[in-house]
Amino acid sequence: MNIVITGSTQGIGLGLAREFLGRGHDVMISSRRAEAVAATVSSLQKDFPGRSVNGQACDVAEYVQVQKLWEQALSSLGSVDIWVNNAGRDGAKMPFFAIPPEDMIQTINTNLVGIMMCNRVVIPGMYQQKHGKIFNMEGFGSNGMVRPTASVYGTTKCAVRYFTKAVSQELNGTPVKLGYLSPGMVLTDMLVPPPEARGKNWAQSRKFLNILADTVETVTPFLVEGMLRSEGNGDAIRWLTRRKIAWRFLASRFRKRDILSPLGL
């Protein structure tokens, strides 16, 4: 199959790309920075000889750039079977009234406008090729949960669920399928702050992460398997379910889980 993943030069997006390639699929890499795209493409080509790995820089909030990414994907891959709207940012973690307006706009543009632009471009394209699946990446807030200092990020991810629900209903009976992806808590640059930014609550956060978080290598095989198997419209592929959360907390009373130390965190 031919896969396009936005925001795939690091973190979950890169993990998804590696997992698809390892299973024999071809991939188009993307993020805003052309140098990062080129470096990622060349390292994946080295690790997966025989597979087709292409790349194109694209800011998902820019309609013209998304259109170019779609066209480049068609010309490199021939068709697009799965398009993953993974690109995202968390922005400043602080009370809403203190968030710099520019930071707020960037988060909304990437997480919400970007998802909309990509769906706007890809749905007609897949309709024309008569097949294709799109997955929109959820995050904290998608289920309506609220946390202080995550107002903007949570609002965008809550809206992503609404948007995906609304558009997937519009796609019923068409050859284009739209679904949800939810990775849980994954140890990437987005989730783990750099040492200088960890602050006084880091010990408490570390405890929490050791119970609920997972590595990219643990979560991406599950997400990829789910996307490949998904046949329905509105399918949801969610790693950290309520049941899994309850089980992790229960188990933590009896068995200490430590996934951060081996990563030097």
State the residues that interact with ligand NAP by CB under 6 A.
6-7, 9-13, 31-33, 36, 58-61, 86-89, 110, 114, 137, 139, 183, 185-186, 188-191
Which residue, 57 or 167, has its beta carbon nearer to ligand NAP?
57
**Residue-by-residue DSSP string for the chain:** -EEEESS-SSHHHHHHHHHHHHTT-EEEE--S-HHHHHHHHHHHHHHSTTS-EEE----TT-HHHHHHHHHHHHHHHSS-SEEEE--------S-GGGS-HHHHHHHHIIIIIHHHHHHHHHHHHHHHHT-EEEEEE--TTTTS---TT-HHHHHHHHHHHHHHHHHHHHTTTSSEEEEEEE--EE-STTTS--GGG--TTHHHHHHHHHHHEE-HHHHHHHHHHHHHH--STT-EEESS-HHHHHHHHHHHTTS---SSGGGT-
Which residue, 31 or 233, has its beta carbon nearer to ligand NAP?
31
Which of 63, 153, 162, 180 does the annotation list as catalytic? 153
162 as an active site residue: the answer is no
**How near is the Cβ of 95 to ligand NAP at its closest, in Å?**
20
CA distances from 241 to 85, 126, 234, 236, 263 (A): 21, 30, 17, 11, 24
**How near is the Cβ of 172 to ligand NAP at its closest, in Å?**
25
Which residue, 118 or 126, has its beta carbon nearer to ligand NAP?
118
Which residue, 2 or 142, has its beta carbon nearer to ligand NAP?
142
CA distances from 152 to 58, 86, 92, 112, 147 (A): 23, 18, 9, 11, 10
Which residue, 88 or 179, has its beta carbon nearer to ligand NAP?
88
**How near is the Cβ of 59 to ligand NAP at its closest, in Å?**
4
**How near is the Cβ of 88 to ligand NAP at its closest, in Å?**
2
Which residue, 3 or 12, has its beta carbon nearer to ligand NAP?
12
**How near is the Cβ of 7 to ligand NAP at its closest, in Å?**
3
Amino acid (one-letter) located at 23: R
**How near is the Cβ of 139 to ligand NAP at its closest, in Å?**
3
Residues that are catalytic = 153
